[in-house]
């Protein structure tokens, strides 16, 4: 048996409607997180993005349940991708690498149009704050990532605050819709 495969097991993760096979770390979590960060930087270099133009935060404890993300500027736009559906930070970061690398390869091999690539990753610079605020608006815990829970809460609040109801509030209704769109883009 190949000892390189002993330290990882494969899992299928669904990201924005696509399935990706990722390796779940079984040991050396901090080292594996740094390797993933370096792999992301290597992928971004294929686009001409320099290391100082990318931000890939690393958790001090890679085993902890935490989202992973990468943020960079390309063609004058802020691009961002995060994932937290794998649970542990190290596995989330590996998923981020897998998705980013896959999309960059698709772009460079002309299997994905430039506009689609940009739309896939384009986000406002303050997207993390917007996602936190969206969860607060919907009355959700900051770690809520279950799209079914988010959709259920959204429907309850939208029904309660709909402008056509007796106690409707159009501003609250707009805020609820905006919050749902922000979280839906993150998780689907």
Q: Which of 25, 35, 175, 161 is nearest to 87 (CA)?
A: 25
The pLDDT of residue 3 is 41
- State pLDDT tens for residues 55-92: 999 999 988 888 899 999 998 888 999 888 888 999 99
For the chain, the domains span: 3-124, 128-187
Indicate whether 1 pLDDT > 50: no
Measured between its terminal Cα atoms, the distance across the chain in Å is 37
Q: Give the 3-state secondary structure of 89-149.
A: HHHHHHHHHHHHHHHHHHHHCCCCCHHHHHHHHECCCCHHHHHHHHHHHCCCCCCCCCHHH
**Do the Cβ atoms of 89 and 97 come closer than 8 Å?**
no
- State pLDDT tens for residues 35-50: 999 999 999 999 999 9
Identify the architecture of domain 128-187 in CATH: Orthogonal Bundle (1.10)
- State pLDDT tens for residues 109-151: 999 999 999 999 987 767 777 778 878 888 988 777 777 888 8
**Do the Cβ atoms of 162 and 173 come closer than 8 Å?**
yes
**DSSP string for 35-102:** HHHHHHHHHHHTTT--GGGEE----SSTTSB--EEEEEEETTEEEEEEE-TTSBHHHHHHHHHHHHHH
């Amino acid at each position: 048996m190949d000892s390189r495969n002993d330290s990882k097991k494969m899992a299928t993760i669904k990201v924005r409607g696509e399935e990706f096979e990722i390796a779940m770390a079984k040991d050396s979590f901090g080292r594996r997180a740094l390797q993933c960060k370096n792999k992301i930087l290597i992928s971004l270099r294929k686009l001409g993005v320099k290391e100082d133009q990318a931000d890939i935060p690393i958790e001090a404890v890679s085993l902890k349940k935490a989202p992973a993300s990468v943020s960079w500027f390309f063609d004058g736009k802020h691009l961002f991708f995060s994932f937290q559906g794998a649970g542990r930070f190290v596995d989330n970061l590996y998923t981020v690498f897998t998705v980013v690398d896959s999309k960059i390869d698709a772009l460079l091999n002309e299997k994905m149009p430039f506009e689609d690539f940009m739309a896939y990753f384009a986000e406002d610079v303050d997207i993390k704050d917007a996602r936190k605020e969206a969860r607060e608006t919907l009355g959700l815990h900051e770690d809520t990532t279950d799209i079914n829970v988010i959709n259920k809460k959204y429907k309850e609040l939208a029904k309660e605050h709909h402008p056509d109801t007796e106690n409707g509030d159009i501003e609250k209704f707009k805020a609820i819709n905006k919050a749902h769109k922000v979280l839906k883009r993150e998780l689907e």
